[in-house]
Amino acid sequence: MRNSTTTLLTSIALIAGAQAIASTDIPDHPSGIEYEELVFEPPVASDYRHELSSGVPVFMAPSKEFPLVTIRFSFKGGEYLEPEGKAGLAGITGQLMRSGGNSAFGPSELDEEFDFLAANVSASIGGTTANASINCLTSNFDEAYALFVDMMKTPRFDEKRLGVLKSQILESLKTRNDDGLQIAIREMGFLMWGEKHFEGRVVTKQSIESITVEDIRAFHQRIFHPGNLMISVTGDFDEQEMLTVLEGTVDGWSVGEISPEVPAPTHVFEPGVYYYEKDQPQVQVLIGHRGIERDNPDAISVQIMNDILGGSGFTSRITNSVRTREGLAYTAGSVFSNKVEYPGMFMSYFFTKTATAAFGTKLVFDEFEKIQKEMAATDEIEVMQNSAIETFPRTFESKGAMLGIFMSDERTDRPSDHWQTYRERVRSVSQEDVQRAANEYLHPQDAIILMVGPWEEIQAGNASSEADANRIVTMDAFFGGNATELPQRDPETMEPIETPKEKVSQE
Amino acid sequence: MRKSLAIASMMLATATSALGQQVEPIEYTLDNGMKFLLMPRDEQPNIITAGWISPVGSVNERPGIVGVSHLLEHLLFKGTDAIGTSDPELDKQYREQLTEIREQMRAYALDVQYDRMHKGEIDNPWDPENDTAELRELRAQMTAIQDKQAEITIKNEFDSIYTGNGASGMNAGTSNDFTIYYINIPSNKLELWAWMESDRLDNPSMRELDAERFVVIEERRQRLEATATGKLDEQFDSMFWVASPYGFPVIGWMSDLMAYTEDEIYEYFETYYQPANLTGVIVGDFDPDDAKQLVESYFGRLENKREAPAPVVTHSVPLLGELRFTGECDCQDQVEVRYRSVPFGHPDEAVFDVMADILNGRTGRLYKSLVEEQEIATSARAGNRSNHFAGSFSFSAVPKGRAELVDLEAAWYEQLERLKTEPVGERELQKIKNQQAADTFRGLQDNSSLFFQLAITEAFDSYEYLNEMPKRVQAVTSQDILRVANQYFKDNNRAVALYTRKGGEKPLITLDDVRASLPEDMAAMMMPQIENQLQQLEMLGIDELKSGLEEMQAMAGQYPPQLKTAMEYMQQQVEQRIKQLEAERNSDASEGDDQ
């Protein structure tokens, strides 16, 4: 409808000259605008999937727009494979692969070659996957790619560069108590996952110092081999030629032990109020408990419920109440971070001045209660459903992102019709589903409330600055006023140390 | 050698082809002067990034309203007369009542609270913590009206309309120089965008002003006051720019955030947000003729209500000496040396950019020299920032181990001397140009990156900058670098910031450090000697130690470099021993003394 009007107007405009463009009727409210239907079919992995003769999957999506090629080698394996006492080995192995030279060139020479060829090369090892990738101009692809493959398969792991890297990391460890949010996230990890599981574990001075080139070589060999590999290619290239190139790369590369499944954490967390003393004008407040698995059948109901609660910016309730209405925080919201292998974490968060940390927490708890007790309005649910459905094409926006999804889905055995049925499943979420999800997956009474800041001021609440008696809240409102002080930690070793308070009283 | 020459010539060809990649948006200007840049692209189907920009930022502010550009940006998300309330008439009444109370509170603060401040009773006349009973009463009245207004407010309707229509990433940003509003929308929702954006430019409600003031204050705490270096950075900026409004923090001074009035905010809005001062940019999957039609209908409604605003008048005076700023924070030790450079579009901007690239990265001079060879830094970088009306170039670094900030500073001056006296080698320069050519492509691949580049360059001057700048970079010669380094970087026109960790002390040198610092053969010989000398220290008296120390200090410059750590260690041990002996003597002397 709109389309035909516009076309007509445009043709009139062409005849009469640009100034003759007529004005469209402007509705009083945007709900009066009519839209053309937008047809979008999600891409299907099999249309992009190829296999090398060795069975390694290759996903390709060519495009001629720019004379650049990007190839990503993705390997199963990550921090979860770090041996006891070697936290940081994964990160260091990835970084030193990139900075430590290859079999043909020493580190500085290789860096020079890549830089001169204007190739962006990276290597990294994350929690559960490892990547090596190159983005370069098609005009010097052969040369840059050969250097890259040499680096990926036979990195030199130069000792001196390892020394530089370790000293950089050791220096950065000293800053771990400088930023309140960094403290909050780390302590929440310890409380939620324990200090042993890789989700909660952090590097220490000792673990970094203990890492040797032999550790790094062994870790590299364990992960970077064709048994763990998937490849994606985007940019300007010919598919058949690329397959030949990749065959050549993988050919003769011996297959090692395939990485095992990611282990689930065994730590059981203790609900309650925790605080970490720090002298700062703003408090980081995190409220969290364990969440859900990615493939939980209720995952979409939980997603819509959390979008209403605090997961969709200004439109969500926590943001509206803590930020917009009361002006207590710039950042406020909630998130379910789902994990494939075990339930992830639910967390609500906001940062506010010390006096209003308790009031803000009360507002968040009020929202938990409201979404559990009262059914959400249909139009509120509809906004979130429309959003999920209409933003769906963005999931596949860039070809790189699309292929990334295909690789991750295959690696984690995601149900094959997931994307094809996604929008229907979103549309079918009902008011009852939302309420049920809130009751089943939100557990405010069994949550951890973690605060970083000056506890005495936090605890006292906002009585001295709040004009409205109904808005005065102290920390007595939570867990019967009980709170556990977390020990101050040495930033480098993470060992608990005596608290500054005790120090002050001794002087 | 042959090989690298061959590569150089090949790369030159690539670089030239990158320059052929012209950015050519469709330009369309409305009768009211609002200009649009339309850039249809089908690489990312069904998606559009759209937005608009005003060349206004904290640089346009004055004392008393610092931060107002940013607060205004927040307030433009608060809906309009039509969006955000179920009862526009009643909403207007509430807003008027709130304005009245706000004025009363302001008058009271300027009178009573200022008086109390002069008497030393309170430190801040605007902080609710310092409210008198009268003020507390007014604030309670305000809260009561806000609660009533909330009953007819459609919460965050401006956002939820977009959200429910599949828009995402709605946001805005304020800098020193510009304020930009942007969003990603499905291809079929361009009219919605035109409706929403032209409506908020036409009649913004600035609803919830009082709560939003506190949101921004929390933002200031989050971004600046509760960060490791935020407060010090703010003061260093302020010092560096002297007269120029680039010294204003974008987020605003705390005092001003508490104080500006509704009139001041509207005045600012009407001056800088008139259509002739704005540029709209649309990038992505759309039909440009449809888009012209829509923006004509919707944005064509807007009227210019004021004279065009004048550009920034106050320019900074040149630095006439070296400024040094030392501060302590919960942060890593770090140093920054900053100079004035050139504004956006200046012919020397490309030379500064190339110079920064020569210094940066793992193949750059700073990493090679400071991190790898001298091992005095864990990181070091340089950067040029050419703002709309003035620019700066800075070096910054974090020391490694026991290196001092002054060592890093000295190492920087050495690098600078090289830039001033030795022409940059051909291959080194070509490497930078190759990377820059490839990065030109990389920066154009993504809708939103293209959107920002078009909007910002057009707001300052013209998007043609995007086509011009790569050519200028390719044309930079080693002579240009010599000239610019000599012209702009002088001992008497720099500002130096030195931050050290609060309560931090340099770790003592250990025997292990000494052993590690010596070449292997030397270590075998020296270590027993050093240990032997350490034992002898125990037997010396204070005076002997002091004269020994003087001797060591006098000789300091004459030791071979590989003995530096060993000699520093000995000196450290002697000093420690002196301190220990002095402490013993003092504690003997103070016995029986009341003080």
What pLDDT is stored for residue B584 in this prediction? Answer: 79
Contact yes or no for B376/B370 (Cβ under 8 A): yes
Contacts of B216 in chain A (CB under 8 A): 330
Q: Is the pLDDT of residue B278 over 90?
A: yes
| Neighbour-count burial of B182, counting CB atoms closer than 10 A to its CB (0-12 exposed, 13-18 middle, 19+ buried) | buried
Instruction: Name the pairing type of β-strands A272-277 and A484-485.
Output: parallel
Question: What's the CA gap between A355 and B329, in Å, rounded?
Answer: 23
Q: Are A66 and A236 in contact (CB under 8 A)?
A: yes
Dump pLDDT digits (tens) for B87-140: 999 999 999 999 999 999 999 999 999 999 999 999 999 988 899 999 999 999
* Cα gap A398→A68, rounded to integer Å: 14
Assign residue B122 a region: left if phi > 0, alpha if psi is -120 to 50, beta otherwise? beta
Residue A129: is it exposed, middle or buried by C-beta count within 10 angstroms (0-12/13-18/19+)?
buried
| C-alpha distance from residue A210 to each of A90, A102, A157, A206, B271 (Å) | 13, 24, 16, 6, 62
Q: Give the pLDDT confidence score for residue B582 in this predicted structure.
A: 82
The token pair at B88 is 């526009």
SS3 of A118-164: CCEEEEEECCCEEEEEEEEEHHHHHHHHHHHHHHHHCCCCCHHHHHH
Question: Which chain A residue's Cα is nearest to B146?
Answer: A325
What is the ipTM metric for this complex?
A: 0.88
Q: How many CB atoms lie within 10 A of CB B362?
A: 20
Q: Do A324 and B211 touch (CB under 8 A)?
A: yes
Task: Judge whether A381 and A434 are in contact, CB under 8 Å.
Answer: yes
How many angstroms away from the CA of B222 is the closest CA of chain A?
Answer: 7
Chain A hits for B192, CB-CB cut-off 8 Å, are: 30, 33, 35
Interatomic CA distance for residues A102 and A98, integer angstroms: 9
Q: What is the pLDDT of residue B516?
A: 75
Q: From the CA of A2, how many Å to the nearest CA of chain B? A: 10
| The pLDDT of residue B1 | 31
Mutate to test the interface with A, among B157, B214, B379 (most CBs of A within 10 A): B214
Lowest mean pLDDT: which of A126-130, B438-442, B578-582?
B578-582
Q: From the centroid of its chain, how far is CA B232?
A: 12
Confidence at B13, pLDDT banded by 50, 70, 90: very low
- DSSP of A174-199, one letter per residue? TTTTT-HHHHHHHHHHHHHHTTTSTT
Closest by alpha carbon to B339, among B489, B213, B124, B533? B489
**Confidence at residue A467, expressed as pLDDT on a 0 to 100 scale:** 87
Question: What angle (nearest 5°) sits at the alpha carbon of residue A94, between those of residues A91 and A99?
Answer: 120
Compute the nearest-CA separation of B6 from chain A (Å).
Answer: 12
CB B130, CB B124: distance < 8 Å: yes
Which residues, including other chains, have CB under 8 Å from residue A332's CB and lie 6 or more apart?
Answer: A310, A318, A319, A322, A323, A349, A350, A351, A360
Say yes or no to pLDDT of B503 above 90: no
Nearest chain B residue to A453 by CA distance is B226
Q: Which of A63, A324, A462, A470 to mutate to test the interface with B (most CBs of B within 10 A)?
A: A324
pLDDT confidence of residue B508: 73
Is the pLDDT at A39 greater than 50, yes or no?
Answer: yes
Bridge partners, B496 (sequence order)? B324, B337
Decide: B46 and A38 in contact? Cβ < 8 Å. Answer: yes
The strand ranges marked E within B229-333 are 279-284, 323-329
Pairwise CA distance, residues B105 & B109, whole Å:
6
CB B66 within 8 A of CB B174: no
- In the numeric block, the tokens 């939003």 are attached to B212
Dist. CA B131–CA B137, nearest whole Å: 9
If pLDDT is split at 50, 70 and 90, which confidence band does A176 have?
A: very high
In this complex, which of A329, A394, A468 lies closest to B143 when CB atoms are compared?
A468
Beta carbons within 10 angstroms of residue A126's beta carbon: 13
The 3 state secondary structure assigned to A237-279 is: CCHHHHHHHHHHHHCCCCCCCCCCCCCCCCCCCCCEEEEEECC
* Chain segment B223-259, per-residue pLDDT in tens: 999 899 999 999 999 999 999 999 999 999 999 998 8
**C-alpha dist (Å) from residue A97 to A156, A479, B204, B336:** 7, 49, 54, 31
| Residue among B140, B196, B226 minimizing CB distance to A282 | B226
Locus of tokens 């590989």:
B562
Report CB contact under 8 Å: A108, B368: yes
Residues B131, B139 contacting (CB under 8 angstroms): yes
How far apart, in whole angstroms, are the C-alpha atoms of residue B550 and residue B573? 14
pLDDT in tens, A154-174: 999 999 999 999 999 999 999
Helix (H, G, I), strand (E, B) or coil at A227: helix
A358 contacts A457 by C-beta, under 8 angstroms? no
Cβ-contact A465, A355 below 8 angstroms: yes
In the three-class reduction of DSSP (H, G, I as helix; E, B as strand; rest coil), residue B165 is classed as: coil
Cβ contact A44:A409 at 8 Å: no
Q: Taking CA B572 as the corner, what is the angle to CA A177 and CA B513, rounded to the nearest 5 degrees?
A: 65
Residues A225 and A153: their CA atoms lie apart, in Å, by 8
Residue A66, chain B, CB below 8 Å: the answer is yes
Per residue in B163-197, pLDDT (tens digit) is: 999 999 999 999 999 999 999 999 999 999 999 99
Residues of chain A found within 8 Å of residue B13, distances taken between Cβ atoms: 139
Residues 6+ apart with CB under 8 A from B75: B204, B206, B209, B212, B265
A23 chain-B contacts, CB cut-off 8 A: 296-297, 300
What separation, in Å, do the N-terminal and C-terminal C-alpha atoms of chain B show?
A: 77
pLDDT beyond 80 at A6: no
Task: Give the chain B residue nearest A465 (alpha carbons).
Answer: B129
Q: Does A112 touch chain B (CB under 8 A)?
A: yes
Q: How far is CA B228 from the centre of its chain?
A: 14
The pLDDT tens digits for A55-103 are: 999 999 999 888 999 999 999 999 999 999 999 999 999 999 999 999 9
Return residues 345-374 of A near B (CB < 8 Å).
Answer: 351-353, 355
In the structure encoding, which two tokens stand for residue A444, read together? 């405010």
- At A343, is the pLDDT very low, low, confident or very high (cuts 50, 70, 90)? very high
Contacts of B45 in chain A (CB under 8 A): 393
